[in-house]
């Protein structure tokens, strides 16, 4: 019975892999986008607390 060589099969070429997925040159995030994300997160927290309040009163 013959055993397959360890390095035979799929090859992984790191430079080719990195060339296929280039990173953007710069990221454009504005203050308004950060503020909007924080407001949405705050609303989710408030809504979650309101939902939990019903359980606390019933319990």
Tens of pLDDT, residue by residue over 3-59, are: 655 555 555 555 555 566 666 677 788 999 999 999 999 999 999 898 888 778 775
**Residue 38: inside a domain, yes or no?**
yes
Whether this model's pTM surpasses 0.85 = no
Separation in Å, CA 3 to CA 6, 7, 24, 30, 55: 9, 12, 44, 57, 62
Separation in Å, CA 24 to CA 9, 18, 21, 28, 37: 32, 13, 9, 10, 22
**Residue 36: inside a domain, yes or no?**
yes
**Residue 9: inside a domain, yes or no?**
no
Domain span including residue 42: 29-59
3-state class (DSSP) for residue 46: helix
Domain count, the chain: 1
**Residue 5: inside a domain, yes or no?**
no
**Residue 53: inside a domain, yes or no?**
yes
**Residue 41: inside a domain, yes or no?**
yes
**Residue 18: inside a domain, yes or no?**
no
Does position 1 have pLDDT exceeding 90, yes or no?
no
């Amino acid at each position: 019975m013959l055993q397959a060589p360890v390095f035979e099969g799929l090859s992984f070429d790191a430079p080719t892999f990195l060339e296929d997925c280039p990173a953007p040159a710069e990221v454009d995030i504005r203050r308004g986008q950060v503020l909007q994300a924080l407001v949405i997160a705050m609303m989710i927290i408030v809504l979650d607390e309101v939902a939990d309040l019903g359980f606390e009163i019933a319990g």
